[in-house]
């Protein structure tokens, strides 16, 4: 029984060391990505101008494209998951094209509505116009569009780096929580083994 407990403690110790090593690697990668992102932004400012890449270009209304969901596992470990809200511009464009095709088919079937005034009125009240307006709303735009239509490659590289930083930060937070849970379990098991050892020592002395 004591041998099994010792083996279990050794396994937890090995797991603990592996988790620490993985945490160190992810932290090093996180640091490199942050440096790479800021360096790319610096190069973009150099090519576009300092005032062209700043908070002044931010949209008046912004909606997050990344959400972090947290949950607690059975062992008390906190889990963090990143969910990205994809840009809906392309999806809305495809929907608009399909709506246009359906609308044209419907108009061809109408024989009695050929007056120009009726057609103009239908175009004014066409929901398609609203769909086009929604395409330019801040929540459906790529944040890179805030800085212009043709942005330099450095700015795209910075965006890609910081996207990876968000995902990696969630992984690091989850790994840190797992390390704390493993250490707590190790300490509890070591304390239990120590108490059992202290109880067996008086019995040996009596014999």
Establish if 33 belongs to a structural domain.
yes
Residue 105: the pLDDT is 46
Into how many domains does the chain fold?
Answer: 1
Establish if 184 belongs to a structural domain.
yes
Establish if 92 belongs to a structural domain.
no
CA dist., res. 177 & res. 24, Å (int):
14
Per-residue pLDDT reduced to its tens digit, 23-32: 999 999 999 9
Question: Any idea what the CATH number is for the domain that residue 192 is in?
Answer: 1.10.287
CA dist., res. 40 & res. 155, Å (int):
6
Query: pLDDT band at 9, cuts 50/70/90?
Result: confident
DSSP 174-188: HHHHHHHHHHHHHHH
CA dist., res. 80 & res. 172, Å (int):
9
Q: What is the extent of the structural domain holding 144?
A: 1-84+140-201
Establish if 171 belongs to a structural domain.
yes
Asked whether the predicted pLDDT for residue 201 surpasses 80, the reply is no
Establish if 53 belongs to a structural domain.
yes
Establish if 31 belongs to a structural domain.
yes
Average pLDDT, the chain: 75
Residue 35: the pLDDT is 96
Establish if 111 belongs to a structural domain.
no
CA dist., res. 25 & res. 17, Å (int):
13
Residue 199: the pLDDT is 74
Cβ-Cβ contacts under 8 Å for 58 (sequence gap 6 or more): 146
CA dist., res. 132 & res. 122, Å (int):
16
CA distances from 9 to 6, 12, 31, 83, 198 (A): 5, 5, 33, 36, 18
Tell me the backbone φ, ψ of residue 63, rounded to 5 degrees: -125, 135
Establish if 90 belongs to a structural domain.
no
């Amino acid at each position: 029984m004591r041998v099994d407990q010792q083996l279990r403690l050794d396994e937890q110790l090995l797991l603990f060391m592996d988790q620490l090593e993985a945490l160190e690697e992810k932290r090093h990668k996180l640091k490199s990505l942050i440096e790479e992102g800021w360096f790319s932004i610096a190069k973009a400012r150099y090519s576009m101008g300092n005032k062209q890449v700043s908070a002044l270009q931010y949209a008046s209304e912004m909606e997050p494209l990344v959400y972090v969901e947290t949950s607690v596992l059975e062992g008390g470990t906190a889990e963090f998951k990143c969910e990205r809200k994809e840009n809906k511009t392309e999806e809305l464009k495809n929907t608009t094209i399909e709506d246009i095709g359906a609308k044209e088919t419907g108009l061809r079937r109408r024989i009695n509505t050929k007056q120009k005034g009726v057609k103009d009125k239908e175009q004014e009240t066409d929901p398609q116009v609203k769909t086009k307006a929604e395409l330019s709303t801040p929540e459906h735009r790529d944040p890179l569009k805030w800085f212009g239509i043709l942005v330099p490659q450095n700015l795209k590289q910075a965006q890609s780096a910081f996207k990876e930083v968000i995902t990696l930060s969630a992984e690091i937070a989850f790994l840190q929580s797992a390390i704390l849970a493993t250490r707590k379990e190790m300490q509890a098991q070591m304390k239990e083994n120590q108490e059992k050892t202290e109880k067996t020592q008086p019995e040996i002395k009596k014999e």
